[in-house]
Amino acid sequence: MTPASTIGAIYQQLSDELAAAGIEEPRLEARMLMSFAAGLEQSRIIGYPEAEIAADTAAKLNNLAERRKTGEPIAYITGHKEFWSLNFKVSEETLIPRPDSETLIEAVLAELPDKSASPRILDLGTGSGCLLMALLSELPNATGLGVDINPETCEIARENAEQLGLTSRAKIKTNDWMTGLDGEFDIIISNPPYIVESEIAALEPDVKKFEPHLALSGGADGLSAYRLIAAQCRAHLPPNGLLAVECGMGQVTDIKGIFEKNNLMVKNVHKDIANVERCILATVQKT
């Protein structure tokens, strides 16, 4: 049997291996892997370097490090990602929630000064459900429907609703955008796929090799989902209803054009933490 090693020795070895593989934050990721594999608090990893780690845990960590070295995102290895300070289950079927997408949450909340309001929210392409659940967690009387074309993603979104205690307010349905959906929603949100198909090959390896193509590719010009959303959403938005979409870098002008052609009035554009225009808010134009 391989002898057990100490937390400190393994931490150092993993950090060195991840650094050599070009991982940007090797020590943080080493701690994340150790915390996942050994069930250790991250503070314990730093505070108790002399504590022993069982040989089978060390072997498991070795495997996880090998996966990470091939570029597999740490969120897929651990099966979790934090978004809006909430913990989300993720899998290879779901896009990994990005901090950039918190811009949409901030943008929508800024439009709702009364947090006790009870809007009905529709989330298109819900994935892990992170956008919908983040909004529901901030708006205790809101209800929501998350739709996604992938039934496996819907399963993950349902699990997230459950572990966040939101099942009674968050319904999840396998559906192709708004096709066949009934009813109106006060707020429609989406982080649709928006990468130009021909640019996917140039994305970071961990994104292009591991994240779902369906959640990334926005077709030949990256905008096909926005055309669809713009065309379908009028039937589901009341006069003061709000549409909030995330967009890719440099896409705002084109998306505004698509929205205006569909009689949607652009209200506001919000920038993300890197100062990139990331979220567009629109309403239905009165005719």
Where on the chain is the footprint of ligand GLN (CB under 6 A)? 95, 98, 191-195, 207, 216
Q: For ligand GLN, give the closer residue by CB, 115 or 209.
A: 209
Which residues on neighbouring strands pair with residue 268, listed in sequence order?
A: 281
**CA nearest neighbour of 22 among 203, 199, 205:** 205
Round to whole Å and give the CA distance between 170 and 122: 10
- DSSP per position, 5-61: EEHHHHHHHHHHHHHHTT-SSHHHHHHHHHHHHH---HHHHHH-TTSEE-HHHHHHH
Query: CB of residue 274 vs ligand GLN: minimum separation in angstroms?
Result: 12
Q: Smallest distance from the beta carbon of 193 to ligand GLN, in angstroms?
A: 4
Shortest Å distance, C-beta 246 to ligand GLN? 6
Contact in structure between 117 and 139 (CB atoms under 8 Å): yes
State the nearest-atom distance from the C-beta of 207 to ligand GLN, in Å: 5
Please state, in angstroms and rounded to a whole number, the distance separating the CA atoms of residues 220 and 223: 8
Judged by beta carbon, residue 51 or residue 203, the one nearer ligand GLN is 203
Which lies closer to ligand GLN via its Cβ, residue 178 or residue 195?
195
- Of the pair 64, 216, the CB lying nearest ligand GLN is at 216
